[in-house]
Amino acid sequence: MSPSSGPPTAGNSRIARLARVVLPLLALAALAILPKIGIGAYTSRLFFVTFVWIVASVAWNLLGGLAGQVSFGFAVFYGLGAYTAALAINGGVNPYLSFLLAGVVASAASLLVGLPTFRLHGPYFAIATIGVGEAVRVVMTNLDFTGGASGYRIVEHTRFNYTEHYYTALALATAAVGISMALRGSKLGLGLVAIREDEAAAADVGVNPYAAKLAVHALAAAMVGAAGGVFARYAAFIHPDGVFAFQTSVAIVLMPIIGGIGTLWGPVIGAAVYGALQEELVARFQQVHLLLYGILLILIILFEPRGIVGLVGRATRRFQRA
Environment class of residue 318 by beta-carbon count within 10 Å: exposed (0-12), middle (13-18) or buried (19+)? exposed
| Weakest mean pLDDT among 19-23, 118-122, 177-181, 199-203 | 19-23
How far, in whole angstroms, is CA 293 from its chain's centroid? Answer: 17
Q: Side chain identity at 98, as an amino acid letter?
A: S
* Higher-scoring residue by pLDDT: 87, 15: 87
> What pLDDT was estimated at residue 285?
66
Among the residues of the chain, which ranges form H helices? 6-37, 41-61, 74-90, 95-117, 123-141, 162-184, 187-197, 199-204, 209-235, 240-243, 246-259, 266-284, 289-303, 307-321
Which stretch of DSSP H or E encloses residue 237? strand 237-238
pLDDT category of residue 5 using cuts at 50, 70 and 90: very low
Angle value at C-alpha 43, between 274 and 231, nearest 5 degrees: 65
Residues 6+ apart with CB under 8 A from 51: 166, 169, 170, 172, 173
Predicted confidence (pLDDT) per residue in 124-140, tens digit: 999 999 999 999 999 99
- 256-312 pLDDT, tens digit each: 998 999 899 999 999 998 888 877 776 676 666 677 777 777 887 787 778 888 787
Q: What distance in Å separates the CA atoms of residue 204 and residue 193, rounded to the nearest whole number?
A: 14
pLDDT of res. 247: 86
The SS3 call for residue 8 is helix
Q: Is 289 exposed, middle or buried (0-12, 13-18, 19+ CB in 10 A)?
A: middle
pLDDT digits (tens, 9 = 90+) for 28-64: 899 999 988 888 888 899 999 999 999 999 999 999 9
Residue 299 vs residues 101, 251, 305: alpha-carbon distances, Å: 39, 16, 9
